[in-house]
Amino acid sequence: MATNKFYDLDEELGEILISAEAIQKRVKELGDEITRDYRGKNPHLICILKGACVFHADLMRAIGLGISVDFIAVASYGSATRSSGEVRILKDLDESIEGKDVLLIEDIVDTGLTLDYLLKNLSTRRPNSLRVVALLSKPSRRLIPARVDYMGFEIPDKFVVGYGLDYDQRYRNLPYIAVLKKEPEGGARS
């Protein structure tokens, strides 16, 4: 019997950077902090597809308040390691955010270009408040300052997969964050 249920990925994955236990502990802490900060309010959690889907699903269950959710999908062009800053909305929100207390849920902030674009775009839609929650950040890669209000972990400049993050649409189902052995070439965010 296999001891590692991801036995078929062993060849491609490097070290586990953040364990499943460490992620769950941090998600609970972030949920508690948001619950305290938004007491008396009903935050509207916007998931940036697809990478933030796992984090979004866990975080909403760690928040002890009435919440609502929506989803947005964007594509940014450039290579997987060098974003061009050109961002396009592939799927827009279903509902208006006017007057809502919006929490934008991102998987990882890399150059900061995607977040900058989305914050500018969403703030024109007159939310009551707009804050950012990011599971991961690679501060050494920033091309533009990014305002992250709730941060999970800062990581070094390595390409990581798991817990929603993919390479070529794979690895999203890993419960931990692992380094991809080979730095990917080409592609766009997803």
Catalytic residues: 110
Beta strands in the chain (DSSP E): 13-18, 44-49, 68-78, 83-91, 101-109, 129-137, 150-154, 160-161, 177-180
Q: Is 111 in the site for ligand IMP (CB under 6 A)?
A: yes
Q: Is 51 in the site for ligand IMP (CB under 6 A)?
A: yes
Contact status, residue 70 vs residue 112, Cβ threshold 8 Å: no
Q: Is 109 in the site for ligand IMP (CB under 6 A)?
A: yes
Q: Is 67 in the site for ligand IMP (CB under 6 A)?
A: no
From the list 31, 43, 112, 164, which residue makes contact with ligand IMP (rule: CB under 6 A)? 112
Q: Is 105 in the site for ligand IMP (CB under 6 A)?
A: no
Q: Is 137 in the site for ligand IMP (CB under 6 A)?
A: no
Give me the residue label for tokens 């208006």.
96
Q: How far is the CB of 98 from ligand IMP (least distance, A)?
A: 26
| Spatial distance between the Cα atoms of 38 and 138, rounded to a whole number of angstroms | 27
Q: Is 134 in the site for ligand IMP (CB under 6 A)?
A: no
Q: Which stretch binds ligand IMP (CB under 6 A): 17-25, 26-34, 119-127, 160-168?
A: 160-168
From the list 165, 172, 174, 178, which residue makes contact with ligand IMP (rule: CB under 6 A)? 165
Token digits of residue 136 = 């991961």
Q: Is 110 in the site for ligand IMP (CB under 6 A)?
A: yes
3-state secondary structure at position 78:
strand
- Within 10 angstroms of residue 14's Cβ, the number of other Cβ atoms is 14
Name the phi and psi angles at 36, rounded to 5. Answer: -65, -45
Q: Which residues bind ligand IMP (CB under 6 A)?
A: 51, 76, 83, 106-115, 159-161, 165, 189
